[in-house]
């Protein structure tokens, strides 16, 4: 059970239905981003998830996109269905805009109305709504719903979130969890990663990241990243005092 922006509880099915209707109005306007903008921030690995715009070529075969690799959901998913683009809830950290594009892995066409669900740790490596890592079973759960949210893709297939650069926790590289739903079915579960050099830059110059020790796990030292994270690495560039990250996720309808 989740809540709508006004605070009313809503089931997953109702949230998905509400998003489908809202996609025709103000929510679509809020989510919509030009396709060219998403492409301009994409990393080479993200760009590889779509075919070139040159058509079928001499082979006569239809264009195809790379299916985004499935990666473990992890232990921290909560089906809250918080329909919102700003998921920060006043948390401190480096601003991060996420432009996440969903395309058909066969046709490479953007998918409108896909439901994108993300969640990640705060700058101190803590997830909302769960018992912190290392705590015993009797410890109180972490409060709040920070850094969790759901958005519907616009006509360009892009869902946009206003978030923060994630913090690290023991044994994992820096990452964001993501699920994509179509017609009330989960069509993708994955994790999004960052270049290690960028993480070092952010952590070394920004509070409160700089109050913690150096992250103990790089991408190559992360078992989940090695399963396919190189294809799920965000393309990131500076935007004002923060960053904007983008990726194209190819999914099967």
pLDDT (tens digit, 9 = 90+) per residue, 129-169? 886 655 554 555 667 899 999 999 999 999 999 999 999 99
Q: Which two tokens stand for residue 190?
A: 């994955």
Q: Which residue has the tokens 């913690």?
A: 212
Report the mean per-residue pLDDT for the chain.
78
Mean pLDDT value of segment 177-201: 96
Residue 252's contacts (CB-CB under 8 Å, 6 or more residues apart) are: 67, 104, 105, 106, 187
Mean pLDDT value of segment 6-10: 39
Q: What pLDDT, on the 0 to 100 scale, is given for residue 134?
A: 53
Q: What pLDDT, on the 0 to 100 scale, is given for residue 143?
A: 79
- Beta-strand relationship, 95-104 and 242-251: parallel
Alpha carbons 249 and 231: distance in angstroms, whole number:
10
Q: What pLDDT, on the 0 to 100 scale, is given for residue 133?
A: 54
Strand-pairing partners, residue 158, are 101
pTM, two decimals, is 0.74
Q: What pLDDT, on the 0 to 100 scale, is given for residue 78?
A: 84
User: Between these two residues, 158 and 69, which has the higher pLDDT value?
Assistant: 158
User: Between these two residues, 22 and 187, which has the higher pLDDT value?
Assistant: 187
Preceding amide of 208 cis, omega within 30: yes
Question: What is residue 16's three-state secondary structure?
Answer: helix
Q: Is the predicted pLDDT of residue 191 greater than 50, yes or no?
A: yes
% pLDDT > 70, the chain: 70
Q: Is the predicted pLDDT of residue 56 greater than 90, yes or no?
A: no
* Residue-number span of the structural domain to which 118 is assigned: 2-251
Mean pLDDT value of segment 207-224: 96
Q: Is the predicted pLDDT of residue 53 greater than 70, yes or no?
A: no
pLDDT (tens digit, 9 = 90+) per residue, 79-126? 888 999 999 999 999 999 999 999 999 999 999 999 999 999 999 999
CA 202, chain centre distance (Å): 18
> ∠ CA(74), CA(78), CA(83), 5° rounding?
125
H-helix or E-strand containing 96? strand 95-104
Domain total of the chain: 1
Q: Which two tokens stand for residue 87?
A: 């998921």
Alpha carbons 123 and 128: distance in angstroms, whole number:
12
Q: What pLDDT, on the 0 to 100 scale, is given for residue 114?
A: 98
Q: What pLDDT, on the 0 to 100 scale, is given for residue 34?
A: 33
What CATH number is attached to the domain comprising 171? 2.60.130.10
Buried b vs exposed e over 189-217: b needs ≥16 C-beta within 10 Å?
bbbbbbebebbeebbeebeebeeeeebeb
H-helix or E-strand containing 227? none
Alpha carbons 126 and 119: distance in angstroms, whole number:
11
Q: Which two tokens stand for residue 112?
A: 């409108």
Residue 99's closest CA among 185, 2, 178? 178
């Amino acid at each position: 059970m989740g809540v709508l922006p006004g605070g009313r509880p809503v089931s997953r099915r109702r949230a998905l239905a509400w998003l489908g209707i809202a996609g025709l109005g103000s929510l679509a306007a809020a989510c919509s981003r030009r396709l060219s903008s998403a492409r301009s921030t994409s990393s080479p690995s993200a760009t590889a998830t779509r075919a070139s715009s040159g058509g079928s070529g001499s082979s006569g075969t239809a264009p195809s996109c790379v299916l985004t690799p499935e990666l473990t959901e992890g232990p921290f998913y909560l089906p809250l269905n918080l329909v919102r683009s700003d998921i920060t809830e006043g948390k401190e950290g480096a601003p991060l805009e996420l432009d996440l594009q969903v395309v058909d892995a066969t046709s490479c066409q953007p998918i409108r109305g896909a439901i994108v669900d993300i969640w990640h740790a705060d700058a101190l490596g803590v997830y909302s709504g769960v018992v912190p890592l290392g705590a015993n079973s009797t410890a109180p759960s972490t409060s709040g719903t920070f850094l969790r949210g759901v958005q519907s893709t616009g006509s360009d297939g892009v869902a946009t979130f206003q978030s923060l650069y994630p913090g690290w926790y023991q044994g994992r590289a820096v990452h964001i969890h993501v699920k994509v739903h179509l017609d009330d079915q989960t069509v993708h579960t994955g994790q999004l990663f960052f270049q290690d050099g960028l993480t070092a830059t952010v952590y070394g110059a920004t509070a409160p990241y700089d109050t913690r020790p150096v992250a103990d796990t790089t991408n190559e030292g992360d078992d989940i990243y090695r399963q396919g994270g190189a294809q799920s690495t965000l393309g990131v560039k500076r935007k004002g005092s923060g960053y904007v990250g983008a990726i194209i996720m190819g999914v099967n309808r």
